[in-house]
Every structure is written in structure tokens, then in C-alpha cells.
Chains A and B, each alone.
Chain A
Amino acid sequence: MADYMTIIIVSLYFLAMLGIGIWASKKIKNTEDYLVAGRSLGFWMFVLLMIGTVCSGMSLLGVSGLGYKMGWPTMWEQIFVPLSIAFCIIFFGVKLHNVAKKSGYVTVQDYLAHRYESPTALRSLAAVSGIIVSLIYLVGQYTAIAIVLMWLFQIPLWLALFIAMVVTMVYTAIGGLYAVAWTTLVQSVILIGGVLIMTPVIIFHAGGFTKVNEYIATVNPNLVMPWMPSGAFAIPYIFSFAILLMVGLACAPHVINNVLAIKDVRYFKWAPLVAFLIYLVAMVLLKFTGFAGISLVKEGVITLPNVPNAGDFVILHGLESALPALAFSAIFAVIVLAAVMSSTDRLMLTIGAMFSWDLYKRVLKPDADDKTVLRLSQIVVVISAIVSMLIAINPPEMLASLIWMGIGVMLATFAVPLLAGLYWRGATREGAIAAMALGLVSSLAIGFLNYFKTVALGIEFAKIPMHFSFYAFVIAILAMIIVSVLTAKTSENVLNETQTGWYFSKD
């Protein structure tokens, strides 16, 4: 078992999160309060909610892991992921917020149903695909949380998962987006502060910035170049990686729905820059910790476990070697828990919203009263937590790939109907349904062909030069253009109400 200090600090952290949930639950009067926090989020709350939602537990362990594996060519991840927050605010947030305030949208599916005059078909397709992708993500988050808790406390996997699930589920179920936003505020401060303190310790432990770079260049000169000569992280791959992260993450349901909850659209003026800078600094340091890990491993200072994803353990072992165990365990546990819980809670709430609001209230039972919808949201939050925990107890072998595939599927499914809907008056309902359905099916198909290294139609899918999602994204764009040109236009009235056109803001 872990030392008492670690148990006390982690328990205090859990109690603080539950306390915030109980306090937030008193602010919930109706479904709008629960799902969009009464549209009351201030500047810092919103900025930190966006950072906390985008930064997951998998990214905390995986960013340094990828750096350890492939060096500087992977640094693009640290530019594109922070840019996804800016992209989401500028290209989706400004217009969606303005229209949402007038039309009372609670979810992005409300916008799609209104803009494309499709209250049932497109809304249901978007909600069901959103729930599937969010569940895949949620399972991945629980697996990350369990790895850290098991390692820290030497407790069985089911118990680690159960503790993490119960705490996050309780505060999310009772406090809705108020609880998610307030807990994320605290979690993001812990996360960013922790990374800023923790990562330089490991980097200096390995000899400092310049020495690490010089050392990894001797291991493999490609590790200090801006791209790899071929394959993953060569120039074509980096181009598709940019689209995947910047646009795919920006339109992920648990990220984009945050723009509906802001109090004042003027926060969108500087939020993109502030979020970008904070996240950039933290994530570059985290990635550089992975580079330091190469030096620490090669010089025999640390030894990684003999597992396929050994790189993901670099930050754990690097810190263990650089700091005394007593301080290390507790601090690191809370940082990883903060990272995981800040996206897990948002994912559960998003699944609750898509089921109770989009499928139940808007499609299955339009006359359902507000109290019933609110209770159903809470029940779905609990069910999604339990289901994803049960899957995470025995995770499928390809889990890590599924999570990466999740972002690719989000890109191919949601980006085209959203961007075309907001900016192109010619985009039609049939075009949006074709783009969404074909994007979903083709991204899953190409993703699996790529994962299983299939050779079909004369194509070696393991060796395609770009990320698989890029091809599905292009298919979705073509489907949107061709079908929209051939089908009846959306009414001028709706296009004006939804402020559709080549501008960010009509005011």
C-alpha cells in the first residue's frame, strides 16, 4: 500500500471535488442550468474549461511517450492541439454562441437540426455518432486513471476504477456543467502548475535542454529534425495530422459544446490567444520530458517496463528518479487524476445531454417536462460511467488505437456538416446527412483497414502517407458538395436566422 501522505492528499483532492459538486448542485434549477451552466461561464472559467476538456489523462502520459518514441518531429502535436482550442472558438464559437443565444440551443445538435431543417434524421445521426465516439474516449480515460491508481496504491484494477468512477460520476451527476466547470478550474490549475514544476525537474535531471538535444541527436539524427524522412511524421503525414488535431478536436462534441455556455461573446476576443499560450508552454515542456527520457534510459538512469507502450511510463519513472518518493507519489497522482477527471466529467455530461436532450426530448418525447429531462440526464451520466468502467476493466487490445481513431472519426463525421453549415449557404440537409454518414462509415472502414494492415484494391493500407482520417474527411467534403448541388436549398429564412455565410459575425 502507498504511504499515508499519498492517501491523505489524494483523499483530500477527492473530497474537494465532491464538495464542489454538492455546492454546484444547489445552482441547478432546470435543464439549461444543468447542461450549459445557465450560459454563465466567465473568461477564465471558459479558458480553463477548454484546456481541461482537451487535455486528458491519456495525453498527459502519451505526449511524453510519443516524444520518447519519435523526438522533435512529434512536436507538431504541441502546436496543433493548442490551436484546436483557438480554431474551435474562432470558427465555431463566435457564430454558434450568437445564434444559440437567440434560438436557445442547448447542444450543437440543436444547431444542426435548425440549420439543415432536419429535426429528426440529422439530429439523431449526430447524437448517436457523438455518443459512440464519446464512449470510446471515456473508456480510454478510465483505463488511464486505473493505470495510475493501481501503480500508486498497489490496489486491484476494479477497485481503482471504482474509486475514480464513483467520485467523478457523483459530482458530474449532481452538479452538471456548473460542477464540471468549477472542478475543471481547480483541476486545470493543478495540471498546469504541476507540469510547470514537475517537467523542468526531469529535464534538468537529464542534464538540461541543450544536453538532451545533443544526446538524442547522437542516438538518431532524425530525432532533432522537424520531420521524419518518410512514414509517420513525414511532411504529408504532418499536414493530415494538423487537420486531424486542429479541426477534429475542435468539433469533438465534448469540446464544441463548451462555446454555448459562455456568458459574454466578448470573451472570444482574447480567449484563443490566452488558451493557446498556456497550453503550448505546458505541453512543450511535457513533450520535452519525453526527449529527456531517451537520455535517461540510454544512460541507464531509469529502466522502463518491458511493455509495448513503454514510452508512456517515461514521465512516471523520470520523476521517480528525480524526486524523493514521498513528495512524488502524492503530487503526481493528483496531477494525473486532475487531467483525467477534467475530460471524463465533460464526456459523461455530453453523453447525458445527447441522450436526454437530443434523442429523448427532441425526437422521442417532445412533450416531456423539464424535470423529467433533467433527471434523465443525471441517470444517463451514471449509466455511461458504469458502462465505460465495465468495459475498462477488461479493455480491448486495440484501445489506444481506438482512442486515436476516435478523433479521426470525429473529424470525418462532424467537421464538414458544421463548417459547411456555418459558412456555405448552398449546403443542404441531404448534403449534410450524406457527408456525416459517409464520413462516419469511411473513417471507420479506412481506420480498421489501416490498423489491421490490410492490402485491398491494390492499396497497402498500412503504408498510406497521410493519417487515415484525412481521406475520410475528403470523402465527406465531396459528398457535401455533390449532394448539396443536386438537392433543394435550405429556406432563406432559416439561413438568415442561423447567420449562414462567409463571415464570423454579422453584428
Chain B
Amino acid sequence: MFGLPDITIIVFGIVTIIAIALLVWWGLIFKGHD
């Protein structure tokens, strides 16, 4: 796909999705207040 080997798409895809998922999770659990 996109002229790239499968491993490149899988590795970068998984890492990016995990990073976004963790940051969404942080947004949902963080209840900071002053």
C-alpha cells in the first residue's frame, strides 16, 4: 500500500495509534482543577 512494505505501515501505524489512544485516555481521566 502507498508504495511501502507492509512492515513499515504496520509498525508506524501501530505506534501512532497507541500514542493517540494513550493521549485520548489521558484526556478522559485527567480531572485537574486549581
8 Å CB contact of A269 from B2, B4, B11, B32: B32
Given A226-B8, A265-B32, A268-B30 in contact, is the A277-B16 Cβ separation under 8 Å?
Answer: no
5 more contacts with CB within 8 A, not counting A90-B26, A276-B23, are A210-B3, A225-B8, A272-B27, A273-B23, A505-B32
Listed by A's residue number, 26 A-B pairs whose Cβ atoms lie within 8 Å are A72-B12, A86-B23, A90-B26, A98-B34, A210-B2, A213-B2, A224-B8, A225-B8, A226-B7, A226-B8, A226-B12, A264-B34, A265-B32, A265-B33, A265-B34, A266-B32, A266-B33, A266-B34, A269-B26, A269-B30, A273-B20, A273-B23, A273-B27, A277-B20, A280-B16, A504-B30
The CA-CA distance from A273 to B23 in the complex, in Å, is 5
Question: From DSSP, what is the main secondary structure of chain B's interface residues?
Answer: helix
Given A225-B7, A226-B7, A270-B27 in contact, is the A276-B2 Cβ separation under 8 Å?
Answer: no
How many A residues, CB 8 Å from partner? Answer: 33
The CA-CA distance from A217 to B24 in the complex, in Å, is 35
List chain A residues, Cβ under 8 A from B4: 72, 213, 224
List chain B residues, Cβ under 8 A from A101: 34
A42 → chain B closest CB, angstroms: 14
Within 8 A of B (CB), among A247-296: 264-266, 268-270, 272-273, 276-277, 280
A439 → chain B closest CB, angstroms: 27
The answer to whether A269 touches B27 (Cβ under 8 A) is yes
The answer to whether B3 touches A211 (Cβ under 8 A) is yes
List chain B residues, Cβ under 8 A from A269: 26-27, 30-32
List chain A residues, Cβ under 8 A from B34: 98, 101, 264-266
How many B residues, CB 8 Å from partner? Answer: 21
Interface centre among B4, B5, B27 (most CB of A within 10 A): B4
The answer to whether A272 touches B32 (Cβ under 8 A) is no
The CA-CA distance from A212 to B4 in the complex, in Å, is 10
Given A269-B27, A273-B26 in contact, is the A507-B32 Cβ separation under 8 Å?
Answer: yes
The CA-CA distance from A157 to B26 in the complex, in Å, is 47
Q: Does A209 belong to the interface (CB within 8 Å)?
A: yes
The answer to whether A75 touches B23 (Cβ under 8 A) is no
The answer to whether B3 touches A213 (Cβ under 8 A) is yes
Q: Does A444 belong to the interface (CB within 8 Å)?
A: no
The answer to whether A276 touches B20 (Cβ under 8 A) is yes
Within 8 A of B (CB), among A80-94: 83, 86, 90, 94
Chain B 5-31 interface mask (CB, 8 Å, partner A; 1/0): 101100110011001100110110011
Chain A 482-505 interface mask (CB, 8 Å, partner B; 1/0): 000000000000000000000011
The answer to whether A212 touches B3 (Cβ under 8 A) is yes
Q: Nearest B residue to A210 by beta-carbon distance? A: B3
Q: Does A370 belong to the interface (CB within 8 Å)?
A: no
List chain B residues, Cβ under 8 A from A504: 30
List chain A residues, Cβ under 8 A from B8: 72, 224-226
The CA-CA distance from A98 to B16 in the complex, in Å, is 30
List chain B residues, Cβ under 8 A from A411: none
Given A213-B3, A224-B8, A272-B26 in contact, is the A79-B19 Cβ separation under 8 Å?
Answer: yes
The CA-CA distance from A284 to B18 in the complex, in Å, is 17
List chain B residues, Cβ under 8 A from A507: 32-33
B7 → chain A closest CB, angstroms: 6
List chain A residues, Cβ under 8 A from B2: 209-210, 213
List chain B residues, Cβ under 8 A from A210: 2-3
List chain B residues, Cβ under 8 A from A273: 20, 23-24, 26-27
List chain B residues, Cβ under 8 A from A209: 2-3
Q: Does A299 belong to the interface (CB within 8 Å)?
A: no
Q: Nearest B residue to A265 by beta-carbon distance? A: B32
The answer to whether A94 touches B23 (Cβ under 8 A) is no
The CA-CA distance from A254 to B11 in the complex, in Å, is 32
